[in-house]
Structure 1
Amino acid sequence: MFTPEDIISIQTRKEFHKVAMKVYRFQYENNAVYREFCNLIRKTPTEVRSLDQVPFLPIEFFKSKDVVSSTQPIQTTFTSSGTTGMITSKHHVTDLAFYEESFRKGFAYFYGPIEDYVVLALLPSYLEREGSSLIYMAEDFIRESKHPESGFYLHNYEELITTLQLLDQQGKNVLLLGVTYALLDIIEQHKFSLNNTIIMETGGMKGKRKEMIRAELHSILCQGFGVAKIHSEYGMTELLSQAYSLGDGLFQCPSWMDIVIRDPEDPLTRIEDFGKTGGVNVIDLANINSCSFIATQDLGKKYEDGTFEILGRFDHSDIRGCNLMVV
């Protein structure tokens, strides 16, 4: 059995590869859905001798199957947001300690201790439903920050505007974690000039506004908040780890997470050349009790220094192959 320490303590690429191979074999043996998928594409432990041969489970399986690698009781189930009638993803979590260690250490890896920040969470579309992993993380950040001013905001924009200005003027370090459309709503009501605040967008218009390309969106947010950079968090229901962008849309992973770019025409083939666009595969070793190898529906590029960009999503018609067993 793996412990959170086995995963979160990874420091080197050599360690990452070693643990990832152990996780692959563990999940092949203990995850019926992943094992069946591996068998169908002939990627069993007999054939898989290195990490670059490990298969990635299409993320759609989280909508139709119970993707679990543990016999322990399910502690919670995170669910994705979706419009009415849409099938949502379900991520069954048997040990929340893996998630808590991952998001706490992952944030601290890039930003330092959460206690150094007043955390303001503007996540209305997530607060209005059950089962959001982002709300679970934000609640923990707010509690662990130990600042009385930390808290959630729903539609009380005027109160948030007043609080944000006051805290920034007092010289306090502020983290404003917001869903994209709500951040745009705020700057339409007030133009800021912030000096001590990190604006971190979590992505998504949630059907409230027209989607925008990142460069245009970040330019508007920078002007509206009076900041030089917009930070971003890359996470999803099906992952227990997050990557962060400290500006310019370039994301970095913590040491127990990695990104692999796949050929959009051949989902079982990796793109080895840096800077080429393809499908985003994620290795998230914190997902030890579900599946650590996931083929997402995102399009992206990876660069030689390990950073990556998210460029958009596949249209449904663009997803080719790898739909075995997905019903």
Structure 2
Amino acid sequence: MKRNTLFKSHNTNEFNEIALDIFRFQAIHNVVYNTFLKHLKVDINSIQKIEDIPFLPIQFFKTHKIVASEDAVEQIFLSSGTTGMTQSKHYVTDVSIYEESFTKTFQYFYGAIENYTILALLPSYLERTGSSLIYMADSFIKKSNNPKSGFYLNNLEELAKNLQELDKKGEKILLIGVSFALLDLLDKYKFDLKNTIIMETGGMKGKRKELIREELHSILCNGFGVSKIHSEYGMTELLSQGYSKGDGVFECPPWMKILTRDTEDALTILPEGKSGGINVIDLANINSCSFIATQDLGKTFKNNTFEVLGRFDNSDIRGCNLLVL
């Protein structure tokens, strides 16, 4: 598979062809995925459409090294979690693919990163190692070429001051933050922002009571003085992200697709509009596994859009964008 074919605006047929090519490659070269398929007694050559591809349960990233490349590992991304919890590990053999994916995804939805000041309020991620979100945010900060771009940890006063000054100047700003930290900021300051995108990246990390999305976004809209709250859907095990520009409806870049599976029969794909487990096809995961069955619940709509509704019961809450119902 040539890398330059991954990050294009594929139509449905082109996407499906590339996904099937990657499936056949990974079914042979990814030892864990190959073993998984053998246990399911899957004939690789019989898979002729993406809906028939078996998706690897995301829990395997906690117990196995998921790779489809013989190249040396350049980066290991680790999931967040409470003390004692087993972390997912994503072994990345070519981190430049991740960089290309998140850069082109941001450009696809928001335009050039260089046009933004990036303010990152990600304390729970910044205080640990191996976060793919921190890696992405750090790249955004460096590419923004704005001296006010940066990470904020305990310096909320400085963040509030910079945010208000930059917004008043009419500069384009992206404030990306974990939910509890954005609420902590609003406990101390109130804003009336005109030129700022507020983007939340996930739940409370045990710092606050979990809120349903509508309640959280209502609080954030009122506190920041904005009409919509944006969201990012990404996770350690993926190299691509979906984005929502409001109302909890996410859109994928052309190299990522969401399917939903029957919660009682994991190999059955549901039609659009039906709630089920979220399966992700991420073409950027070419060197690990591009077909991941997550522990998220959601539904898909037309135009490669989807909604996240919750999590399966008894699954640990991690760093993917999810508000538990």
Identity of paired residues, percent?
60
Match of 1:322 in 2: none
The answer to whether 1:110 aligns with 2:109 is yes
Assess if the C-alpha contact under 8 Å between 1:106 and 1:242 holds in 2. Answer: yes
For 1:123, the aligned partner's letter is L
Query: Mind listing any 5+ residue stretches in structure 1 that lack a counterpart?
Result: 319-327
Match of 1:79 in 2: 78
Assess if the C-alpha contact under 8 Å between 2:52 and 2:267 holds in 1. Answer: no
Match of 2:2 in 1: 2
For 1:60, the aligned partner's letter is Q
For 1:315, the aligned partner's letter is D
What is the alpha-carbon distance in structure 2 between the residues aligned to residue 33 and residue 158 of structure 1? 48
The answer to whether 1:293 aligns with 2:295 is no
What is the alpha-carbon distance in structure 1 between the residues aligned to residue 84 and residue 91 of structure 2? 21
Match of 2:151 in 1: 152
Assess if the C-alpha contact under 8 Å between 1:167 and 1:174 holds in 2. Answer: yes
For 1:211, the aligned partner's letter is E
What is the alpha-carbon distance in structure 1 between the residues aligned to residue 200 and residue 20 of structure 2? 33
Assess if the C-alpha contact under 8 Å between 1:179 and 1:202 holds in 2. Answer: yes
Runs of 4+ in 1 over 2 A off after TM superposition: none
Structure 1 residue 206: Cα displacement: 0.6
For 1:316, the aligned partner's letter is N
Structure 1 residue 305: Cα displacement: 3.3
CA deviations over 1:39-77 (Å, ceiling 9, x no partner): 111223122122111110000000000000000000010
What is the alpha-carbon distance in structure 2 between the residues aligned to residue 30 and residue 262 of structure 1? 25
What is the alpha-carbon distance in structure 1 between the residues aligned to residue 54 and residue 43 of structure 2? 9
Match of 1:277 in 2: 275
- Mean Cα displacement is larger for which, 256-265 or 307-316? 307-316
Match of 1:31 in 2: 30
- Aligned pair in 2 of structure 1 residues 50, 109: CA closer, same or farther (>3 Å)? same
Assess if the C-alpha contact under 8 Å between 2:74 and 2:95 holds in 1. Answer: yes
Assess if the C-alpha contact under 8 Å between 1:300 and 1:311 holds in 2. Answer: yes
RMSD, matched Cα: 1.2
Assess if the C-alpha contact under 8 Å between 1:43 and 1:54 holds in 2. Answer: no
Matches within 5 A, 1:204-243: 204-243=203-242
Aligned residues: 316
CA deviations over 1:11-35 (Å, ceiling 9, x no partner): 2111111110110001011100001
Matches within 5 A, 1:1-327: 1-3=1-3, 5-272=4-271, 274-316=272-314
TM-score of the aligned structures, taking structure 1 as reference length: 0.95
Query: Mind listing any 5+ residue stretches in structure 2 that lack a counterpart?
Result: 317-325
TM-score of the aligned structures, taking structure 2 as reference length: 0.95
What is the alpha-carbon distance in structure 1 between the residues aligned to residue 43 and residue 238 of structure 2? 23
- Mean Cα displacement is larger for which, 258-267 or 36-45? 36-45
Structure 1 residue 9: Cα displacement: 2.0
Structure 1 residue 144: Cα displacement: 0.5
Structure 1 residue 10: Cα displacement: 4.1
- 2:284 is paired with a residue of what secondary structure? helix
CA deviations over 1:82-136 (Å, ceiling 9, x no partner): 1111100000000011100100000000000001100000000001000000000
- 2:151 is paired with a residue of what secondary structure? strand
- 1:8 is paired with a residue of what secondary structure? coil
Structure 1 residue 143: Cα displacement: 0.2
CA deviations over 1:174-195 (Å, ceiling 9, x no partner): 0001001000111111110000
